[in-house]
Chain A
Amino acid sequence: MKATPGNSPQQLVDHLFRHEAGKMIAVLTRIFGIQNLELVEDTVQETFLKALQVWKFGALPDNPSAWLMRVARNRTIDLIRRQQKLANISAELSKRLQSDTEIAIEQFFLDTEIADSQLRMIFTCCHPGLNQEDQVALTLKSVSGFGVQEIAKALVSTESAIQKRLYRAKESISKHDIQFEIPTGLALNHRLETVYTVLYLLFNEGYNSSKADELIRYDLCAEAMRLCKLLTEHKMTAQPAGFALMSLMCFQASRFGSRLGEDNTIILLQQQDRRKWDQQLIKMGYHFLISSSTGDVLSVYHIESAIAAEHCLAPDFESTNWELMLRLYDLLLEQKPIPIVKLNRAIILAQTAGVAAAVDAILDIPGIAGLLEQHYIYAAVLGDLYGRAGNLPEARRLLEKAWLLTPSLAEKKLLQEKMAIFA
């Protein structure tokens, strides 16, 4: 151990503990079994506190991550030996078992095995036997190392609600006797679907929610991307749809910094300063999109990524290839015939066929009357289109409705500006 008191705290990598927690929980769960998740979580916590106790006076290990893993490994060996001591076995056998323990445990802490364990954890947390909201909470807790308070903040919920979800998730795991494994064969594809859904949800929660604070939202997006990357890097789980999802997240994330102005005002795509888009992420997006172009399955992520890529490709809003965009939305609708996709398609339609056609398309969405009453986004989009079509009373009525429906101050502000334009 080397004394490095001169190092700035920033050098203690961002979220080191959180990321290491995810790794350690996964490895230890593989050793002790998912039924011992509580014991595992306690052990991981002990490891951090030990680190804290030892590091805080100014002596940091050269490789904090390796140090943490070593402490966790030693603690694991210790726990297992204690169990063995309880058993009534001869001293000789006990000794043999002990030396074997060390070798056996060592294997689990190899880098490749750590990735394997983390994937098992992802599949366990995203098991279809769990409610979707429980899947999300448990993934954040056990895979990503978020604390209950942080999960509550990220998902704009309360700590007690999150505790309940976590409890329910753990109950479901034992009730369904869910195995801690990476599924194989036909089951894999089915299970991967759920994993993608959860990661997509995590990402969108971070990307779209204007309720949570910026920092934790960014963390959510980064975490979804980190986990998706993990999937694409493992030979068992590297599937075209995963690459497509990864590329979609890269494209979306590239705009993260340009969507909000000063005082957290929302900047719409049309007004965004495209020079602020992260070119590195756009490049990565293309890289993953190319990697996803194999096999014979066109997933929704492929299509959505292609749509996002079109936005990133256009030098400015006006030169967006709307015709191609519309065709992509038509493709997407075949797989995802849901209102929100229809709404987004209508926005594109306004560019190609005019606002009147877009208004008609929205009014054609089944159940639109109810949607307009419940979700601000429908009222906001339709109101804007009416305004652009010159129907100002209808525009104002809908924008006002949207204003009442959205809890977000940033959205309200944006809607107010719109109302002023169509006054």
Chain B
Amino acid sequence: MKEFMFVFRGPYYEDLNFTPEQSQAAMQKWMDWIGQLAAKGRYVGGAPLVRDGKMVQGKKPLITDGPFAEGKESVGGYLIIKAETLQEASEMAFGFPDFGYQGSVEVREIIPMG
């Protein structure tokens, strides 16, 4: 099986006006999804990213604040999973709980360097 990376873009939850119960419901959806992946032996790892970041670019590189103004564009975290094909990996992303909040998943295959 190959490894794939799910790159999650979407609004930060702190910008959504959730009640405690809604927060917990969202959390349970995530746990459900990740739990399923893990149960099938497909979950490798994942991590959230700190919201603030820097962008370094230019010929004479300049450090600027990241292009994170647009909430739904920012990368909130990533997941690494196992799948047979890119198609299968993409279908596994259907369970991503945040589609309803304008979130999106970029699915990329990781090239093994072993």
Binding site for B on A (CB under 8 A): 3, 5-9, 12, 15-18, 20-21, 44-46, 48-60, 145-150
Shortest Cβ distance from residue B102 to the other chain A in the assembled complex, whole angstroms: 16
**Does the CB pair B18–A48 fall under 8 Å?**
yes
Q: Which residues of A contact B30 (CB under 8 A)?
A: 52, 55-57
Please state if B21 and A18 are interface contacts (CB–CB under 8 Å): yes
Point out the residues of chain B lying under 8 angstroms from A55, CB to CB: 27, 30
Given contacts A18-B21, A145-B21, 6 further A-B contacts (CB under 8 A): A49-B18, A56-B77, A57-B79, A58-B38, A59-B47, A147-B19
Verify A52–B47 contact, CB threshold 8 A.
no
Top 6 closest A-B pairs, CB basis?
Answer: A147-B19, A57-B46, A56-B30, A17-B24, A9-B31, A5-B38
Contact B26 A52 (CB under 8 A): yes
Query: Chain A residues with Cβ under 8 A from B24's Cβ?
Result: 12, 15-18, 48
Residues of the B chain whose Cβ atoms lie less than 8 Å from the Cβ of A57: 30, 34, 46-48, 77-79
Q: Which of B50-74 contact A (CB under 8 A)?
A: 51
Number of A-B contacts (CB under 8 A): 105
The answer for the CA separation of A58 and B22 in the assembled complex, in Å, is 18
Q: Once the chains bind, are A5 and B21 in contact (CB under 8 Å)?
A: no
* CB nearest to A151 among chain B residues: B19
Question: Which single member of B18, B34, B38, B48 contacts A54 (CB below 8 Å)?
Answer: B48
How far is the CB of A216 from the nearest CB of chain B, in Å? 10
With a CB–CB cut-off of 8 A, which chain B residues contact A21?
Answer: 20
Q: How many residues from B make CB contacts under 8 Å with A?
A: 32
Note all chain B residues with C-beta closer than 8 A to A147. 19-22
Q: Assuming A3-B45, A52-B23, A53-B76, is B14 touching A12 (CB within 8 A)?
A: no
**B12 at the binding interface (Cβ < 8 Å):** yes
User: Which residues of chain B are within 8 angstroms of A7 by Cβ–Cβ distance?
Assistant: 31, 35
Give CA–CA (A59, B37) in the complex, Å: 14
Complex Cα distance A283/B47, Å? 47
Nearest B-chain residue to A141, judged by Cβ: B19
The residue from A6, A20, A50, A150 contacting B38, defined by CB atoms under 8 A apart: A6
> Interface centre among B13, B18, B19, by most A CB within 10 Å?
B19
* Residues of A close to B18: CB separation below 8 A: 45, 48-49, 52
Of the A-B pairs whose beta carbons lie under 8 Å apart in the complex, a sample of 22, sorted by A's number, is: A5-B37, A6-B35, A7-B31, A9-B35, A12-B27, A15-B21, A17-B24, A18-B21, A45-B18, A48-B23, A52-B18, A53-B12, A54-B48, A55-B30, A57-B34, A57-B79, A58-B34, A59-B46, A145-B21, A147-B20, A147-B22, A150-B21
In the complex, the chain A residue whose C-beta lies closest to that of B31 is: A9
| Residues in B whose Cβ lies below 8 Å from that of A45 | 18-20, 23
Residues of B within 8 A of A20 (CB): 20
**Which B residues are in CB contact (< 8 Å) with A15?**
21, 24
Is B28 in contact with chain A by the CB < 8 A criterion?
yes
Q: Is the CB of A51 within 8 A of B35?
A: no
In Å, the complex CA distance between A88 and B79 comes to 47
How many Å lie between the Cα of A145 and that of B31 in the bound state?
22
Partner of B21, one of A9, A44, A53, A146: A146
In the complex, A126 Cα to B2 Cα: how many Å? 59
- B39 beta carbon closer than 8 Å to chain A: yes
- Complex alpha-carbon distance, A58 and B32, angstroms: 10
B contact residues around A58 at 8 Å (CB): 34, 38, 43, 45-46, 79
Given A49-B13, A58-B34, verify A6-B20 contact (CB < 8 Å). Answer: no
Q: How far is the CA of A145 from the CA of B48 in the complex (A)?
A: 26
Asked whether A17 lies within 8 Å of B23 as measured between CB atoms, the reply is: yes
- What's the Cα separation between A57 and B97 when bound, in Å? 11
Contacts of A5 in B (CB 8 A): 34-35, 37-38, 43, 46
Q: In the complex, what's the smallest C-beta–C-beta distance from A380 to chain B, in angstroms? A: 35
Find the B residue at minimum CB distance from A145: B20
Docked Cα-Cα span, A9 to B33, in Å, equals 9
- A-side contacts of B45, CB under 8 Å: 3, 58
